[in-house]
Amino acid sequence: MVADADFWLTQFLNGMQLSMLLFLLSIGLTIIFGLMHFVNLAHGALYMVGAYVGVSAAASLGNFWLALIAAPLAVTIVGIFLYVAVIRRMRRAGPMNQVLVTFGLIFVLVDLVRILWGDIALGMEQPAILSGPAEIFGVSYPAYRLFIIAVGLVVMVALSLVLSRTQIGAMVRAGVENDAMASCLGINVERLFFAVFCVGCALAGLAGAVAAPVFSATPSMATDILIPTLIVVVIGGLGSLGGAIVGSLIIGFIQTFGAVVLPGFASVLVYVLLAIVLIAKPAGLLPARS
Amino acid sequence: MLEVRDLHAGYGETQVIHGVDLTVDEGRFHAILGRNGVGKTTTLKTIVGLLPSFSGEVMFDGASVSRSRPFDIARMGIAYVPETRDVFGSLSVLENLRLAARLAAGTDCKWTVERVFNFFPNLASRRDNGGNQLSGGEQQMLAIGRALVMNPKLLILDEPTEGLAPIVVRQIFDKLKELKGEGMTMLLVEQNFHFATRLADTASVFGRGKCVWSGTCEALRADEDLHRQWLGV
């Protein structure tokens, strides 16, 4: 295949865009995992709910930016409901039960979405200001997709600063590393977990709403995004921001470039990589606990 | 200040302590001695709420804390320095201390982060290092410093000398003596008989999951039969 620099730059931006969506999802999942050893398979379903709420909010409010606020809020409310009704009771039930229950929640949420919105793909209009192509390094690329990359980078920087510079960030890192000791210092780790869980839900909702104009909202997005997100969490290392960043970039780029360079093997490549990481570094590339 | 009555506890289904009684009076330094596996650490973990008690009672400052969660117990004024030290490796020395100082923030407190740095000058020079970059002795100092900035009413230490070089053990000894001089109420678990009995006012000897003897450290030092039977020294 002969391709020029423009082609590769476009692929690079596609890879970045996928990586940023994966990051927005995996960061919440990995910290919840790391902090409370809780497996929430329904995280991908929250992404789907975010997309549908975004579509409806944009249509009814007529404003893309309000939809971008409404979706994370709505998904956080759904998350709080799940926490109170289900997750809080499952905290000490062990990983297998948690996997089964949160796996079941996927079907519940997907069917609720089917009932409320129907079983068809719903599109969402891009804001006028981002609807055209943009010039970047001499390449024409959709402005909206650059916006997705920018949203991911902004969230990444903001979370890095909060985790590394603030007292709350230190509490989260301490809780991920050793929750028993953190509680002996007077930290209510369960409340901290709840706060982190809400932020994770909000980011999943944001990711869904941001993705909807490009990929449309469909019920299958709940499970389509779940597997790569889980792979990011495992490859990066549970509970680690750095791991979520590195893992998202690796998976985003392997999926994108794999589809171009080795079309027949693209879907296998990610699993090969997963196997290699699990053999070489079972705790992930940048585990939070050393 | 601390009153443990007929405490039964353990890990999961496995009971380790079978009716521990223990009293620590305000301003006193109490040591728990005993061989490995007699339930010393289990008793401490149950007091601070990390392990549930099967039965019996833990009273602190006149209130029962047997059913309280660890962070409530910490907020009531019990600071715990575990055997494994458990400093946060991914946090800097300063962050470790600030995290613990959060509890006492706003109140007029004796122990500040700066005072801990004066108390343990080694830590001051390592303030920006990660907890995982410290030597064993520095980790122990950080674990103690972290407990102090909580400005606790009761300081609980589990084997602070374990695995440390004699010169570091000496340093820790001097620092605990200084704390005792200030009137800090302390509960210490130790295998090192001389370290413990030279510091403490009173002691309990544990055997087979309960307290088999308690009294003053002078009496303990004099009682050779007691050593042979329960301490093996």
Contact flag B88-A177 (C-beta cutoff 8 Å): yes
A32 and A170 in a single domain? The answer is: no
Q: Which residues of A touch B95 (CB under 8 A)?
A: 170
Do the domain assignments include residue A140?
A: no
Q: Which of A202, A218, A234 is the last residue of a domain?
A: A218
CB contact (8 A) between residue B102 and residue A167 = yes
In the prediction, which pLDDT does B165 show? 95
Residue A127 lies in a domain: no
Same domain, A190 and A52: yes
A21/A82 same-domain check: no
> CB distance A185–B82 less than 8 Å?
no
Structurally, how many domains does chain A consist of? 2
- DSSP characters for A110-158? HHHHHHHH-SS-B--PPPGGGSSEEEETTEEEEHHHHHHHHHHHHHHHH
User: Given CB atoms, is B111 within the 8 Å cutoff of chain A?
Assistant: no
ipTM beyond cut 0.85: yes
pLDDT one digit per residue (tens) for chain A, 290 residues: 456 888 999 999 999 999 999 999 999 999 888 887 888 999 999 999 999 999 999 999 999 999 999 999 999 999 999 999 998 888 888 889 999 999 999 999 999 999 999 999 999 999 999 998 998 888 899 999 999 999 999 999 999 999 999 999 999 999 999 999 999 999 999 999 999 999 999 999 999 999 999 999 999 999 999 999 999 999 999 889 999 999 999 999 999 999 999 888 878 999 999 999 999 999 999 987 65
Does any CB of chain B come closer than 8 Å to the CB of residue A178?
yes
Claim to verify: residue A198 and residue A100 sit in the same structural domain: yes
B89 CA to chain A: closest CA distance, Å? 8
Q: Rounded distance, CA B221 to CA B115, Å? A: 35
Q: Which residues of A are less than 8 Å from B79 in CB distance? A: 184
A68 shares its domain with A189? yes
Assigned domain for A10 exists:
yes
Domain shared by A264 and A232, yes or no: yes
Q: Is the pLDDT of residue B233 over 60?
A: no
What residues make up the domain containing A275?
A: 1-36+225-290
The residue among A198, A218, A238 that closes a domain is A218
Chain B residues within an 8 Å CB radius of A173: 88, 90-91
Q: Measured between beta carbons, which residues in chain B are less than 8 angstroms from residue A183?
A: 49-50, 69-71, 74
Same domain, A111 and A190: yes
Residue type, A150: A
Both A60 and A185 in one domain: the answer is yes
Residue A105 lies in a domain: yes
Q: What average pLDDT does this structure show over B122-136?
A: 95
Please say whether the beta carbons of A244 and A30 come within 8 A. Answer: yes
Rounded to an integer, what distance in angstroms lies between the CA atom of residue A243 and that of residue A250? 10
- Report the predicted TM-score, pTM, of the whole model to 2 decimal places: 0.90
- Are residues A185 and B146, on separate chains, in Cβ contact within 8 Å? yes
Nearest CB to A173 within list B50, B91, B102? B91
Sign of the torsion angle spanned by Cα atoms A271, A273, A276, A278: negative
A78 and A98 in a single domain? The answer is yes
> In this structure, are A63 and A201 located in the same domain?
yes
